[in-house]
Structure 1
C-alpha cells in the first residue's frame, strides 16, 4: 500500500500524540467532522485532537488508502481506551496544496 507523505505524517503524529505536528497537516481554514461536531481552523482542530488524545489514546493502523484528484480515503483500524476498541474507521480527506483542507471521520 502506497501512502503519500502527508497522510503518513497524519498517521504518525496521531500515533505519537503530537497534536502540534498533527495540526500542521491542516490548512489554516480546514474543517474536521467527527462525533457529530465540526471543528474549523487550526486552533479548534488542535483543541479537538488534544482532547481526543487525552480521552481515547487512540492509534491508527492503516489498512487501505485510495486517492482520486483532491480526495483521499484512509481506512484504518483504530484502537484505544474507548468502548468497542479496536474499530475500523474511514478518514475522508479533502486535500489542497499539500495539506488537509477537510477531514470527515466515519465508521
Structure 2
C-alpha cells in the first residue's frame, strides 16, 4: 500500500518480515497499544504483546484500505498466520506524534 506515513509503513514492512525490533522502532517511548480493548502501555508491554500475539503465530497484517479519521490513520485489511480463523480482517487505528506511533488500536 502506498502513501502510508513513514512510521506506519516501517511497522507494516517490519511485520511482513516478522521483525520484532523493526516493528518496535516506529513507536514513541510512551506509546500505547490497545488490542481488542486490552491496553498495553510503554515499549516493554508493547514488545511482549507483539512477541506473543504476532511473532509467535506469524501474524502478518496486510492493509488494503486507508483513510484519515479525526486526525488518525485508519487501516483495514486481513492478517494471516498460524492462528485459528486465519485470515482475519482487522482494523488498525493509529495516532502519530513527532514522526512516531503514539497509539495503535486493533479491532476485529
TM-score (norm: length of structure 2): 0.88
Give the SS at the match of 1:48. Answer: helix
Residue equivalent to 1:77: 78
Residue equivalent to 1:56: 57
Q: 1:9 and 1:71 mapped to 2: Cα distance?
A: 17
In the alignment, does 2:9 pair up with 1:8?
Answer: yes
Q: 1:2 and 1:25 mapped to 2: Cα distance?
A: 16
Q: 1:65 and 1:45 mapped to 2: Cα distance?
A: 23
In the alignment, does 2:44 pair up with 1:43?
Answer: yes
Residue segments in structure 2 that go unaligned for 5+ positions in a row: none
User: 1:2 touches 1:65 (CA, 8 Å); kept in 2?
Assistant: no
Partner deviation per Cα, 1:35-87 (whole Å, 9 max, x = no partner) = 44211111111111111234321112221111246311011211011111111
Deviating above 6 A after TM superposition, structure 1's stretches of 4 or more consecutive aligned residues are none
Q: 1:31 and 1:92 mapped to 2: Cα distance?
A: 12
TM-score (norm: length of structure 1): 0.89
- RMSD of equivalent CA atoms: 1.6
Matches within 5 A, 1:63-102: 63-68=64-69, 70-102=71-103
- How much has 1:103 moved relative to structure 2? 0.8
User: 1:70 touches 1:96 (CA, 8 Å); kept in 2?
Assistant: no
Q: 1:78 and 1:28 mapped to 2: Cα distance?
A: 26
Aligned length: 107
